[in-house]
Amino acid sequence: MSSSRTQDPRINALLALVDSIMAQRNLPIVPVPFAMQGDPAREHIIAASNFQLSAFVPGSDGSYDKSRGLFLATGKIGLLISAGIMAGQAARNARRRRAAEAAMTPRWVAGESGALCVSQLGFYLVTSSGIHFWGWGALDYVSITAAEEIELLGRAEAGAVRWRLRSEVAELVFFLWAIVRAPHHPQLTGEQWHIAAGRDFHRDLPASD
């Protein structure tokens, strides 16, 4: 399979790696200290680099718990105490309202960072919380959003996720996923990359953990 080259040496190196993977020849093997999901005779880590993750938070409905405590005291001192308590409740409610309004705004928040290890069958995120595997079958959408950045939608046991993944090998994740899952993807078939897909390529897709 031939792929047109760009003026970016990093992208050219990733495209050459895609060519090698599709031809099943001259595959680099990056040694890693963890067990992989596939057959050790077939699956190898072919690229690794650092990564930074951002997660999309869609926003809440704006609701919050309002403090409604009632305290009544008699006498001049008691009335002053009651007024102070009511003022404190109003201030707490105002802070909660502002926090709830801020939470309504959809936003990207910084997530985990660590090592991104890419294989023929998916990729591994090695972080302080553990080793997380994502097979191509668990990703429903991937697109390149900037140099060294992709956006993806995935399905995990905890629910759907929407991430932005920044890494020197982020585009490699896109190329390999698109060849397997979305050969019609405009960033794969269009003039931007000129990568021809259509071969059978590890169709036995492992599900993500």
Same domain, 117 and 168: yes
> Could you tell me if residue 21 is inside a domain?
yes
Low-confidence ranges of the chain (pLDDT < 70): 1-6, 59-91, 93-94, 96-97, 99-104, 190-209
Same domain, 87 and 163: no
> Could you tell me if residue 2 is inside a domain?
no
| Rounded (10°) CA dihedral 196, 197, 201, 203 | 170
> Could you tell me if residue 124 is inside a domain?
yes
Same domain, 90 and 172: no
> Could you tell me if residue 205 is inside a domain?
no
Other Cβ atoms closer than 10 A to 22: 18
Same domain, 77 and 36: no
Residue-wise pLDDT for 73-125, tens only, equals 555 555 555 555 566 666 676 676 676 566 667 889 999 999 999 999 999 99
Same domain, 100 and 176: no
- The number of domains in the chain is 2
Same domain, 52 and 129: yes
List Cβ neighbours of 170 (8 Å cut-off, separation of 6 or more).
Answer: 51, 116, 144, 148, 149, 150
> Could you tell me if residue 198 is inside a domain?
no
pLDDT of residue 198: 34
pLDDT of residue 127: 96
Q: Would the pTM count as exceeding 0.95?
A: no
Beta strands in the chain (DSSP E): 45-57, 107-119, 122-127, 130-135, 139-146, 149-156, 159-167
Structural domain span for residue 33:
9-58+107-189
pLDDT of residue 54: 95
> Could you tell me if residue 202 is inside a domain?
no
50 and 167 Cβ atoms separated by less than 8 Å:
yes
CATH code, domain carrying 175: 2.30.29.30
